[in-house]
Structure 1
Amino acid sequence: MTVRTRFAPSPTGFLHIGGARTALFSWAYARRHGGKFILRIEDTDVERSTPEAVQAILDGMQWLGLNHDEGPFYQMQRMARYKEVIGEMLAAGTAYLCYTTREELDALRADQEIRKEKPRYDGRWRPEAGKTLPPPPDVPPVVRFRNPLDGVVAWDDQVKGRIEFANGELDDFIIARADGTPTYNFCVVVDDWDMAITHVIRGDDHVNNTPRQINLLQALGAPVPCYAHLSMILGDDGQKLSKRHGAVSVMQYDDDGYLPEAVVNYLARLGWSHGDEEVFSMDQFAQWFDLDHITASAAQFNTEKLNWLNAHYIKAAAPQRLAAETMRRLARQGVATTDGPDVARVAALYRDRASNLNDLADAVHPFYVIPQASEEVRAQHLTESARKALAVLREHLSDCAWQAAALGQLVKQTATELGLKMPQVAIPLRVALLGLPQSPAIDAVLEVMGRNQVLKRLDTVLSA
């Protein structure tokens, strides 16, 4: 058997963290078993589905590196197939036409609530032996599935264990509306059948849909996939993850300065574990991933751990990649880097200090825009004695070898000449060059910034 998994989002919004984790686990399971990962867009909610949301899902999947093997398939392009199957079910007697009006359903529900019964369709149009009702005029019928009346529908959930529902608790649900459009549960079943899906990995908000879908599959004579329902993700505060907890979409994490491999690594550990392993690549995750080690309890989002992982991956990133990410963010701020020092070298100075790419871009920013130190910083660090030291240092820097070791030695030499301590020269120098009293090693800053820029900035400060 070839393992075939699917990710089937509805394009009514962005790809959020919960959906991304579902996609990741489905992708990894297929990769682990040499199978296929299918992307399906469930766009039958015409009023809420938008092309922008579809693109947001595709962009999010691409950013995370979750490449699909087949698809994307769109349900709206499969309407003829759904209607074909509905026709077959009507002919086979596994579905039937129901002419109950909205008013009748409302009255039925009101009576059930008065009797404190579970609201459900009462089967009044269900064909039974010796029971026929003439179709009322001018009432377009819906199509209902003829659900079994007795017994149970059960499955061994790969995360939650054995789950059973009494068929008596399931009503004859609608599989096609009065206008002929098929419903969610029906489309999903036909799609999973036609696409030969073997494993359905999805959120546990679908648990109540599963018994209906299993009964439909069995009525069609279709194989029933294995199901694995993932528990919800809670926010840092222990409440259900929502917009108020931060990122609305996966791509918001890109905007907020996260590397995709950090997000993927973090998502992999949300409800799944491989011993004590915390840091691993996508390939390693795919080799390790199984359904046995998914926890049935809710996973809790931990922003601090995500930031720690992101800092780890920033440190490990190739210099040119960090440069490209930094330049993209600086360009967003209107900062050009073409006339400044090599961005890869500047970013390398700060990579160990940054937990996200936006912080890295902010740290690099003063190398490309002449900074304006605050009045407080200038008053504290650019004193008369400090400016004298900078003037002496400037002369030394005008014709020395431009290498970190030599530059560092010149800063020390200047301090010694003037009877000062090293910080009494280095800190004013940082303020003159970067507008800040803290920075990486001053000799490295000098080397990367370059002679012309260093002398230019010193001249500006000394002439003020």
Structure 2
Amino acid sequence: MPTVTRFAPSPTGYIHVGNLRTALMNFLIARKAGGTFILRLDDTDQERSKQEYIDGLFADLEWLGLHYDRVEQQSKRMDRYAEAAGQLRAAGRFYECFESPVELDLKRKKLLNMGRPPVYDRASLTLTEDQKAAYRAEGREGYWRFRLDLERIEWADGIIGDISIDAASVSDPVLIKADGQVLYTFASSVDDVDMGVTHIVRGADHVTNTATQIQIMKALGGTPPTFAHHSLLTGAKGEELSKRLGVLSLRDLRARGVEPMALLSLMARLGSSKPVELASSMQELIDGFDVGSFGAAPTKFDAEDLFPLTRSHVQGLPFATVQARIAALGVPADKAEAFWAVAKGNITVLADLEGWWHLFRDGAEPLVEESDRDFVRQALTLLPAQPWTTATWGEWTGAVKAATGRKGKDLFMPLRKALTGRANGPEMADVLPLLQKLPVI
């Protein structure tokens, strides 16, 4: 059977690193098997689903290079969900309920106070048509639950291992709300059956959903896919990450200069038994992916870990890849390649290039100790006229040494700081030919 996976975000916000982990795992499984990767918009919540989030999702996946084979949209499949609901009603697996949220809350609290699990008591399962009509006459709208078979639900999870859940410990899930909204648990089950999904990787917070969805899929005549539930991300110190995911959206990481391959390389290995290494290509990630190498324990994520990987990726880029960006800074074409050769070893993100070109073009704010001021002024009088070459630095410092008697660090450091405004950086022999202005001391 061909491998089919899916990434099914709800477009109610911009996707973040937690969403990416799910998307990437499903993408890599499909590509490694030569299968199909579906992007499905789980947008049955029409109030919270926004077009701007859909547009942002497409932009994020394009930026990352996670190319999908087709797009599906739940909001366009409402007739199919109505048909599936009819099938479940006919099979006696769907029943209408009328309890208010307040009444349900009171039931839960009563059970908890008795030391029992807050499982729905199926009171609505035995309602007569007259009782239902009376509720409607009161102005209540019915909502629909799926009647679980009270047996153990078992599956071999691709990450957690063998799982067994007693359906009697789980409430019959609400699948359609009183306002007619089809909920995730139902729509996803219908879609996964209809679309032939064979493998699903998602967060460990969906384990209970999986148990109920397995029964729903079987009730619809489908075969449940292979499931794997990855661990949830925490902050660098083990703190809950969910409250910070808003600042870990992919669009924000992109704005900070994180490179796609750095982000993909981290997320393809984070929480697995394999070391995090910068991949050179998407194919390398595909070939090296193994969902079974991931553990079930909470996984620490620190956005700062993305920047060493980004630095390594950026510094390995060929000139041709950055040529247009460098030209956009205003770097003359005859100096562009030399500029890249000098700057690339001293940047973390590509946006750092602008600062270096500003320094070369406009000159730096000189950093000169008072005790070195006369020395630097004298040295600048000995600097040959432009144009400067890579040989100029050696020739100049040789002349300064002969004139002043200074040598070593006492010679080179004051000149570096005066010309660049910083105590470290590229080789000065390479910097000097790019400098457009000298400092005023």
TM-score normalised according to structure 2 size: 0.89
Deviations 1:359-415, CA, capped at 9 Å, x for gaps: 454344312333333xxx23437612321221121xx234x6x43135533432343
Quote the residue 1:186 is aligned against.
186
For the residue of structure 2 that corresponds to 1:208, the secondary structure is helix
Q: Residue 368 of structure 2: which of 378, 381, 387 is its match?
A: 378
Q: Measure the CA separation in 2 of the matches of 1:286 and 1:381.
A: 59
Q: Measure the CA separation in 2 of the matches of 1:107 and 1:219.
A: 31
Instruction: Report if aligned partners of 2:376, 2:418 keep a CA contact under 8 Å in 1.
Output: no
Aligned ranges for residues 233-248 of structure 1 at < 5 Å? 233-242=233-242, 244=244, 247-248=247-248
Quote the residue 2:420 is aligned against.
434
> What stretches of structure 2 of length at least 5 have no aligned partner?
none
Aligned ranges for residues 35-50 of structure 1 at < 5 Å? 35-50=35-50
Q: Measure the CA separation in 2 of the matches of 1:188 and 1:134.
A: 29
Is the deviation greater in 117-126 or in 177-186?
117-126
Q: Residue 135 of structure 1: which of 130, 133, 136 is its match?
A: 133
Quote the residue 2:202 is aligned against.
202
Amino acid at match of 1:444: D
Is the deviation greater in 178-187 or in 416-425?
416-425
Q: Measure the CA separation in 2 of the matches of 1:196 and 1:17.
A: 27
Amino acid at match of 1:123: R
Fraction of identical pairs, as percent: 33
For the residue of structure 2 that corresponds to 1:372, the secondary structure is coil
Instruction: Report if aligned partners of 1:372, 1:435 keep a CA contact under 8 Å in 2.
Output: yes
For the residue of structure 1 that corresponds to 2:294, the secondary structure is coil
- 1:100 paired with 2:99, answer yes
How far 1:326 moved relative to its partner? 6.5
Quote the residue 1:331 is aligned against.
none
How far 1:209 moved relative to its partner? 0.7
Amino acid at match of 2:140: V
How far 1:200 moved relative to its partner? 0.5
Quote the residue 2:399 is aligned against.
413
For the residue of structure 2 that corresponds to 1:122, the secondary structure is coil
Instruction: Report if aligned partners of 2:4, 2:37 keep a CA contact under 8 Å in 1.
Output: yes
Amino acid at match of 1:260: P
How far 1:245 moved relative to its partner? 8.4
Distance 1:196 1:327, change over 3 A: farther
Distance 1:57 1:428, change over 3 A: same
Q: Measure the CA separation in 1 of the matches of 2:321 and 2:370.
A: 38
For the residue of structure 1 that corresponds to 2:47, the secondary structure is coil
Q: Measure the CA separation in 1 of the matches of 2:373 and 2:307.
A: 39
Q: Measure the CA separation in 2 of the matches of 1:425 and 1:192.
A: 71
TM-score normalised according to structure 1 size: 0.85
Instruction: Report if aligned partners of 1:99, 1:135 keep a CA contact under 8 Å in 2.
Output: no
Instruction: Report if aligned partners of 1:337, 1:368 keep a CA contact under 8 Å in 2.
Output: no
Q: Measure the CA separation in 1 of the matches of 2:255 and 2:336.
A: 20
Is the deviation greater in 104-113 or in 20-29?
104-113
For the residue of structure 2 that corresponds to 1:202, the secondary structure is strand
For the residue of structure 1 that corresponds to 2:368, the secondary structure is helix
Instruction: Report if aligned partners of 1:12, 1:53 keep a CA contact under 8 Å in 2.
Output: yes
Q: Give the length in aligned residue pairs.
A: 437
Instruction: Report if aligned partners of 2:25, 2:268 keep a CA contact under 8 Å in 1.
Output: yes
Q: Measure the CA separation in 2 of the matches of 1:412 and 1:304.
A: 43
Is the deviation greater in 282-291 or in 186-195?
282-291
Quote the residue 1:355 is aligned against.
348
Amino acid at match of 2:82: K
Q: Measure the CA separation in 1 of the matches of 2:245 and 2:195.
A: 36
For the residue of structure 1 that corresponds to 2:402, the secondary structure is helix
Distance 1:70 1:436, change over 3 A: same
Quote the residue 2:389 is aligned against.
403
How far 1:321 moved relative to its partner? 3.1
How far 1:263 moved relative to its partner? 1.2
Q: Measure the CA separation in 1 of the matches of 2:89 and 2:251.
A: 44
Q: Measure the CA separation in 2 of the matches of 1:366 and 1:213.
A: 60
How far 1:36 moved relative to its partner? 0.9
Quote the residue 1:224 is aligned against.
224
How far 1:226 moved relative to its partner? 0.4
Amino acid at match of 1:443: A
How far 1:309 moved relative to its partner? 2.1
Is the deviation greater in 58-67 or in 116-125?
116-125
- 1:369 paired with 2:339, answer no
Deviations 1:329-378, CA, capped at 9 Å, x for gaps: xxxxxxx52569745532321322333334454344312333333xxx23
Q: Measure the CA separation in 1 of the matches of 2:391 and 2:206.
A: 63
Q: Measure the CA separation in 2 of the matches of 1:243 and 1:391.
A: 59
For the residue of structure 1 that corresponds to 2:422, the secondary structure is coil
Amino acid at match of 2:330: T
- 1:283 paired with 2:269, answer no
How far 1:198 moved relative to its partner? 0.4
Distance 1:300 1:381, change over 3 A: farther
How far 1:80 moved relative to its partner? 1.9
How far 1:56 moved relative to its partner? 2.5
Is the deviation greater in 187-196 or in 407-416?
407-416
Instruction: Report if aligned partners of 2:382, 2:396 keep a CA contact under 8 Å in 1.
Output: no
How far 1:435 moved relative to its partner? 3.1
For the residue of structure 2 that corresponds to 1:258, the secondary structure is coil
Aligned ranges for residues 387-398 of structure 1 at < 5 Å? 387-393=377-383, 396-398=384-386
Q: Measure the CA separation in 1 of the matches of 2:176 and 2:194.
A: 18
How far 1:425 moved relative to its partner? 5.7
